[in-house]
Amino acid sequence: MSSGLVYDKNGWLFENPQENAVHDISIDDINQLLYYAEQEDARAEAVKHALAERNEAIRNGIDVPEMDYVLEQSLMMRTEGTVIQMPYGLHIITFPSKGHLFRGEIQNYHKSIPSLNRMLKDGMSNKEKELIRVIAHLRKRQLGRLIWKINVVPYWEAEISDINFDALAQHYGLATHLMDLTNDFKAALFFATCKYDSETDSYRPLTQEDIDKNEDTQFGYIFHTPDWTIDFLNGGGTEWSFKHLYNTDPVNATCAERRFFLQSGDVDGLAFQIGYQPLQRCDHQSAYVYPMRNGRSLQSDWRFEKMRFRQSVEISQQVYQMMDEGKKIFPNEGVTELHDYIERIKHSVTFSMDELHEVYEDDGVKKPLFSTFDTLKTALIGYTTSDGMISIQNKPIEYDVPQKLLDTVNSHYDGKICWKRSVV
Q: How many CA atoms lie within 13 A of 316 on its CB side?
A: 26
Q: Are 205 and 317 in contact (CB under 8 A)?
A: yes
- pLDDT band with cut points at 50, 70 and 90 for residue 406: very high
Q: Helix %, strand %, coil % for the chain, to 5?
A: 45, 15, 40
pLDDT of residue 14: 96
Q: Are 229 and 304 in contact (CB under 8 A)?
A: no
- pLDDT band with cut points at 50, 70 and 90 for residue 391: very high
Give the integer Cα–Cα distance in Å for 336 and 352.
25
Whether pTM exceeds 0.85: yes
Choice among 179-188, 275-284, 395-404 with the minimum mean pLDDT: 275-284
Choice among 41-55, 142-156, 183-197, 233-247 with the minimum mean pLDDT: 41-55
Give the integer Cα–Cα distance in Å for 125 and 386.
17
Give the integer Cα–Cα distance in Å for 337 and 399.
14
Distant-in-sequence, close-in-space partners of 422: CB < 8 Å, separation ≥ 6: 48, 51, 52, 55, 79, 80, 81, 82
Q: Are 287 and 176 in contact (CB under 8 A)?
A: no
Q: Are 131 and 380 in contact (CB under 8 A)?
A: yes
Q: What are phi and psi of 127, to 5 degrees?
A: -65, -40
- Of 196, 175, 179, 168, the residue nearest 113 (C-alpha): 179
- pLDDT band with cut points at 50, 70 and 90 for residue 82: confident
From residue 54, alpha-carbon distances to 23, 83, 97, 248, 367 in Å are: 43, 17, 19, 35, 49
**What average pLDDT does range 383-394 have in this prediction?**
96
Give the integer Cα–Cα distance in Å for 21 and 18.
8
- Of 286, 379, 233, 272, the residue nearest 95 (C-alpha): 286
Burial class (CB in 10 A: 0-12, 13-18, 19+), 172: buried
Q: How many CB atoms lie within 10 A of CB 135?
A: 22
- pLDDT band with cut points at 50, 70 and 90 for residue 422: very low
- Of 380, 376, 283, 281, the residue nearest 332 (C-alpha): 281
- pLDDT band with cut points at 50, 70 and 90 for residue 309: very high
- Of 325, 345, 323, the residue nearest 168 (C-alpha): 345
**What average pLDDT does range 270-299 have in this prediction?**
85
